[in-house]
Amino acid sequence: GQITGGTKHNIIPATAVMRGSIRAFDGRVRAQLKARLGDYARDIARAYRADAKLQFQADGCPAVVNHDAPSAFATRAIGAEIGDGAVTEHDAVTMASDDMSLFLQVRPGCYFSVGAAPESGPPRPHHAPEFEMNERALPIGLRSALGVMRAGLSPASADR
């Protein structure tokens, strides 16, 4: 998110701008969030005898939902490429937002991630100032993607 307002530390700004994103797993819930956010913004502004204007620049991306068959295919292909023990499947949902969701609405597929936590200390969240990735994961990600492509292009692959 972002909050900006004013030009000097000792002058009350005439306007302030807040920016952020809305994420939800369900499109209807997202629409409700957008509507309620406008209500909250106007009510808070009114309490301070101010005005609020809410503007959405885009509808954003829907939730990323993997399809079962492509996910199983990718899991097998990546396991064959980097080792079965290196692949972890999980049912956990995340609030990741990506335009991959738009592709998955048109064609079945899957979105996977490659663990890239630093070698020491806890993983740090993406888009956070302290984010740090272990660059030794880059070849693993490349081999994973190439393994899926190679398996998908194989004539023996009837499971695409």
For range 33-49, the mean pLDDT? 92
In angstroms, the CA 48 to CA 45 distance is 5
Burial 28-42 (b: 16+ CB within 10 A, else e): eebeeeeeeeeeeee
pLDDT band (50, 70, 90) for residue 26: confident
Mean pLDDT of the chain: 88
Q: What is the pLDDT of residues 61-108, one digit of tens each?
A: 888 888 999 999 999 999 999 998 888 887 777 777 788 888 999 999
* Domains of the chain and CATH, by start: 2-47 (no CATH), 68-153 (1.10.150)
